Amino acid sequence: MNDLFSLVDWSRAQFALTAMYHWLFVPLTIGLSLIVAIMETIYVRTGDQRWKNITRFWMTLFGINFAIGVATGIILEFEFGTNWSNYSWFVGDIFGAPLAIEGILAFFMEATFVAVMFFGWNKVSRGFHLASTWLVALGVSLSALWILIANAWMQNPVGMQFDPEQMRNVMDDFTAVAFNAVSMHKFFHAVSSGWTLAGVFVMGISAWLMWRKRNVDMARQSFKIGAWAGLIGLIVTLYTGDGSAVQVARVQPMKLAAMEGLYRGNVGQEIVAFGILNPDKKPGDSLPAYDLKVGIPYGLSILANHKMHSFVPGIDDLIDGVTLTPEGDTINTVSYAERIERGRQAREALGRFHAANAAGDTAAMQAARADITEDYKYFGYGFLDKPVDAVPPVAITFYAFHIMVLLGGFLFLYCLLGIYVSKWKRGWFEKPWLQWLGMLSLPLVWICSQAGWVVCEVGRQPWTIQDILPTRGAISDISTGSVQLTFWLFAALFTLLLVAEISIMCRYISRASKTDIENNNNI
């Protein structure tokens, strides 16, 4: 059993490592592709050569990041087959469909038009080149759409039925999978956060150029576009984040409770603006949940249900079987202890089904199938030993969520400041404090982005598929040592790739502080 837990932990660590490295590149690719398309549109509309050179400067940075993102993404998809083969067998027909569409539609669109985008200058018309740039931006977003549809299905599995004869789930409603409410909120939330990250990235690099007093006009124009992209992205992110919170409250209430460190909920539940968790607190005990807390009255009830006086269940409530209806009403439902028992019954019924199938006993097969169907929604709980095994890591989820919110608020104010300076206080561009604020915002926006991804993925543990398949039931039958070896190999490889990317980008940006990009027709 200890070997199993070790294998699960190392497999999760390897996937988390790959995903977090990959997520360093994805949002910048999404946002920068849009900003480059906007800049080229300005060039085509004005015919101003300076805008062509500005576009090509940012396009090169996009290309460097795009290449590294593709490399890490391919490794990430391979891991489903190498480390998570049980998962791939169990739901491969469903999970693989969005990924296949992403490869056929979005990735080929990107691959086709990215060549024109980079090598088509002066070889195709301005209009065709501009269309290619916009199609690359569209392809990047479509790629994110189908990947996030697959991820959202793991958070809220719909549009499927379990086939006991195949021992796997099969899709019975593609529309339900594709237009899952979780996936739509997740897609717009992720894409708009990419606009924000790229906008702050452009503002930060522009601030550095202004600090070096080189290509100042280009830096100011880029700073303005970055501020608008960042602000619009944040507005959409806030709106879709609100929708995502409502969906999490409905389909993943345990994640929401962990995000707030909430063990016992109340009607008119406050939201924690700032808090320090009690590290000794465990589900079911009487210890206080926080060592320090500053709350906003009614905040969590409004966030989760859009009702000031609604009830939000905590971790202990959910374990005991207190939850909400889709309408936001409090009900007593199946406790986690009973879910574990019913999950084990579903697994036992599956064994009876296969024994009856081998014996050719049709009546016994039908009876077993009925039992499986009745308890299948608790199937994954049958892999757990005790109710607390269904509680995600509370501290990681709580702090990641609040870091994301805190930094998101800072970035919102920063982008507002950027627009204010660009429109009414252009003299502030020369202020060192503004330039340093722009450069310091660069690491903060990535921390915010990574924190959001941690909330999404760590908050749904221990599930690979919510309520259906925990991580311990999804892994491949391989040795722990091989996973440990590849973990450290990937850690070294991805770190080298990251160092190489940062080095190449820094060299290219540094060149901009020594050459006149704005009027260089050969850039």
Contact 258, 238 (CB under 8 A): no
From 243, 266, 392, select the one nearest 322 (Cα to Cα).
266
**Helix or strand holding residue 277 (H, E):** strand 271-277
CA separation, residue 44 to residues 39, 41, 49, 138, 188 (Å): 9, 5, 9, 19, 28
Contact 273, 294 (CB under 8 A): yes
β-strands 463-465, 469-470 pairing: antiparallel
| Cis peptide upstream of residue 297 (ω within 30 degrees of 0) | no
Alpha helices in 83-171 (DSSP H): 85-101, 108-119, 126-155
Output the DSSP codes for 153-172: HHHS--SEEEETTTTEEEES
Q: 343: which residues sit within 8 A by CB, 6+ positions away?
A: 375, 378, 379, 380, 381, 382, 383, 384
Task: Identify any residues that bridge with 449 across adjacent strands, giving them in sequence order.
Answer: none
DSSP code of 107?
I
The domain locations on the chain are 2-252+394-512, 257-332, 336-387
Cα–chain center distance at 483: 24
Helix (H, G, I), strand (E, B) or coil at 375: helix
Sign of CA dihedral 496, 498, 500, 502: negative
**Strands, E assignment, 297-379:** 322-324, 330-332
The phi, psi pair for 521, rounded to 5°, reads: -75, -10
> Which pLDDT score, from 0 to 100, does residue 150 have?
87
CA distance 301 to 270: 7
Contact 79, 15 (CB under 8 A): yes
> Which pLDDT score, from 0 to 100, does residue 260 have?
92
Quick one: 359 exposed, middle or buried, by C-beta within 10 A (0-12, 13-18, 19+)?
exposed
Determine how many CB atoms are found less than 10 A away from the CB of residue 349.
Answer: 21
- Give me the average pLDDT of each 10-residue run along the chain (523 residues): 69 87 88 93 90 89 83 78 84 82 76 84 88 90 87 88 85 87 86 93 91 84 92 92 86 91 88 90 89 89 85 90 62 83 90 86 87 88 91 94 93 93 84 89 93 91 90 85 88 88 84 60 44
Sign of CA dihedral 342, 346, 347, 352: positive
CA distance 444 to 48: 34
The phi, psi pair for 350, rounded to 5°, reads: -65, -40
CA distance 470 to 447: 28
Biggest distance spanned by C-alpha atoms of the chain: 85
**Helix or strand holding residue 273 (H, E):** strand 271-277
User: Amino acid identity, residue 203?
Assistant: M
Contacts within 8 Å (CB) and 24+ apart, 422-427: 422/220, 422/223, 422/224, 422/227, 423/224, 426/220
Specify the pTM. 0.87
> Which pLDDT score, from 0 to 100, does residue 509 have?
82
